[in-house]
Each structure stands twice: as structure tokens, then as C-alpha cells.
Amino acid sequence: MEKYKVGVIGGTGMVGQRFISLLENHPWFQLTVIAASSRSAGKTYEEAIGSRWALETPMPEEAKKMVVMNAEADIEAIASQVDFVFSAVDMKKEEIQALEEAYAKHECPVVSNNSAHRWTADVPMVVPEINPEHLAVIADQRRRLGTSRGFIAVKSNCSLQSYVPALHPLRDFGLEQVLVCTYQAISGAGKTFETWPDMVDNVIPYIGGEEEKSEQEPLKLWGRVENGVIVNAGSPAITAQCLRVPVSNGHMAAVFARFQNKPTMEEMKEIWANYKGRAQELALPSAPKQFLHYFEEPDRPQTRLDRMTEGGMAVCIGRLRPDTQYDYKFVCLSHNTLRGAAGGAVLLAELLCAEGYISRR
Ligand SMILES: NC(=O)c1ccc[n+]([C@@H]2O[C@H](COP(=O)([O-])OP(=O)(O)OC[C@H]3O[C@@H](n4cnc5c(N)ncnc54)[C@H](OP(=O)(O)O)[C@@H]3O)[C@@H](O)[C@H]2O)c1
């Protein structure tokens, strides 16, 4: 099979590095362009990264000698060389919105890790196992942008990728209220313990904007397509507290849930064990075979032991038990830069290709 040619915008950053390493040996995608800021442009990838390589695996050979392009100045040249781009840039929201729209208008689909366009009503925010039907709004977005190929699709915030998958198949029981407390890794801020020594032996009870995202983004994921836009779901009511904890990778969530028609614990575990989404039906290359893993051990899932379950793309659940105020409480875990960021975006791109939204030029 001829591979899709892929660019990574923001390829030198923490999420960008994950993209570059996930694209190494990808069966469908060929890394073709790396772009970043003017600070990196013109250097080889290896030079531009310097001492910033943050992954446990070595830098892919195919990337080392590639010359980094300027993501803002070289849009036309980049768009003409690739079938689509991944975007993971750290810029002001309005700048990211404009940059991603410029790529789309150059007929280059953008699969974005950034939050800038998550609330644009005709931009689908998709977890392939949860709301693949939202891709239908791409036709309306293309009409607005005046494009035939170009569009923007985004993935949701990393904090909610642990608990929303666990709650999703339980919505049939009339999920009414959710309280969640997240325990989030420092890589979620683009940091390591070397670059953020204040996090050693510490908890910081504040992550700017994260609680609002954790409470509101699930309602877009659970929304419906109506008149060419996504209309948010009206329930459940979600309240969230998000804490930064001294962990390199892996976001954990402690979840409390109340239902209109309370399921039994056996029903919940059976539903989790049997749940399959569109990514599993299509057997997409990055899809975990089992999306939701329930652990019976009382002290699992653990961040260090379980974050890499199925290549960091599965969601781990444990400690399901009755609660004194809600119906049930349980714990969830997902890898924030794999399922929660670059891996989730690669899976979304695979879905977009499989469903015919991205084609080869
Ligand atoms: N880390 C996570 O787990 C995570 C999870 C979900 C979402 N996100 C989001 O993903 C995005 C990237 O996060 P990150 O942690 O990877 O950030 P990061 O490590 O700070 O990397 C930022 C990237 O943006 C590039 N950049 C900065 N200014 C630019 C400009 N003016 N033009 C073009 N490129 C520019 C940088 O290039 P240079 O190297 O040339 O400066 C670098 O490649 C952010 O929007 C973040 O909120 C991160």
C-alpha cells in the first residue's frame, strides 16, 4: 500500500516528538515534513532538538537528518508536499486557530492536538471509540472554508481521556452526575523532572483551564450533529478538580457517578469488557484490541505499571465499589501523551483515512 505523506507541525515539542516516534514504521503513514518555529527552521531535526529529546525510545533515524521547515512561513510549500498534517504547537490560541485554518485553506487536512479549535462548532472533536459519527460535520466545515480537501479535526483534552471512555458505555443507564478528581502527569505540561524540578516531591493543585475543559468537553463528545454543527449534550452534570502530581506520564482519575437507573457492578464490568468502538471494528493500526481493561486487584491500575497497556492506547479501570453519596466510585488511568495526545491524534487520522475523509493527493 502506498503510504500517506504526513507533516508534523510543532514536531520539536513534547507532543511533536511523540508524533515523530509513532510515525516510525507506521503501516499507513510516512513522515515527510517536520515544521516548527523560526528558532528551529533550517536546522536538522537532531540539531533543532539538541538536548530536548524527552522520550524513553531513541530519536528515529528517519527524522534525524530532516531539515525542519518554518510552520508559519512555509505553509504553501509544506501543504504541497503532504497529504495531511498533525498539529501540536505551543502558541497563542488565536495564532493557532489562524495557522490551522491556513493549512486547511491550502487544502491540507489538519489533525490537531491543540485546544484552539475544540469549540469551533463545525470542527469535530473525536475519540474514535466514542463519537466517530461527528466526522459528518466536515462536509459543512469544508463549505464554510471553501475547500474540497482541507479541514480541521481535533482530539479532546488529555485529562478526560481516562474517565470519559469508562463512562461512555454507561450512559444508557441515565448517567446524571459525575464528580471527578484527576491526578495528572508533568509531561502534560510539556515538562520532565529535569525541566520542572519544583515538581519533585510535590503536588500543585492548579492546572490552568483544565477543570473547565474536563467539565465541558465531554458534553461536546456526547453531543449530536444538527444543521451542520455539533450541539452539546445537556447531561451529565460534571464537576472536576485537576491536580498536577509528581509522575512523568499517565493521568489518573478518581470518579464518582450517579445514574437514573443504577446498574449493578456486574453489569458495569460486563459492559466494559465487551465494549468495542469504531476503531476496533475497523481494526485501525493504533487501536487497542481491548479498549477498556478492568483490573480486579485492589491496588490497580497503577500509573507506572499500567499506563503502557496496549501501547499506551487502552484505558485502565479499577476499584469499582458502591459510594455513600453517589451510586459508585472507581479509578481510571490513561497515558496522557499517547492515548491522551499524539496517539489519540494518530488513531483519529487513521479513522479519517479509513472513512475516506483524507485521501492521497
Ligand atoms: N504535553 C501534553 O501531554 C499535551 C497533551 C494535550 C495537548 N497538548 C497541547 O499540545 C500543544 C503542544 O504541546 P507540547 O507540550 O508539545 O509543547 P512544547 O513541548 O512546548 O512544544 C511546542 C512546539 O510548538 C512549536 N512552536 C512554538 N511557537 C511556534 C511558532 N510561532 N510557530 C511554529 N511553531 C511554534 C515549538 O517549536 P520550537 O521548538 O521551534 O520552539 C515546538 O515544536 C499545546 O497546545 C498543548 O497545550 C499537550
Domains assigned to the chain: 4-157+342-354 (3.40.50.720), 160-335 (3.30.360.10)
Backbone angles phi and psi of 278, in degrees to 5? -60, -35
pLDDT tens digits for range 187-203: 999 899 999 999 999 99
Q: Which of 90, 96, 115, 251 to mutate to test the pocket of ligand 1 (most atoms within 8 A of CB)?
A: 90
pLDDT in tens, 330-351: 999 999 999 999 999 999 999 9
- 260 pLDDT exceeds 90? yes
How far apart are the CA of 89 and the centre of ligand 1, in A? 4
Instruction: Locate the ligand 1 atom nearest the alpha carbon of residue 10 and give its number.
Output: 43
Ligand 1: residue whose CA is nearest its atom 11? 88
Using DSSP's 3-state secondary structure scheme, residue 327 falls into coil
Q: Which of 117, 251, 293, 335 is catalytic?
A: 251
Residue 316 annotated as catalytic: no
The 10 Å Cβ neighbour count of residue 282 is: 15
Hey, what's the torsion of the CAs at 89, 90, 95, 98, to 10 degrees? 20
Cα separation, 51 vs 192, in Å, equals 12
Structure confidence at residue 1 (pLDDT): 83
For atom 3 of ligand 1, the residue with the nearest CA is 188
Nearest CA to ligand 1 atom 33: 37
* CA nearest ligand 1 atom 27, residue: 90
Q: d(Cα 285, Cα 127) in Å, to the nearest integer? A: 15
Answering whether pTM is above 0.95, one says yes
Substitution candidate for ligand 1 out of 8, 20, 37 with most atoms within 8 A of CB: 37
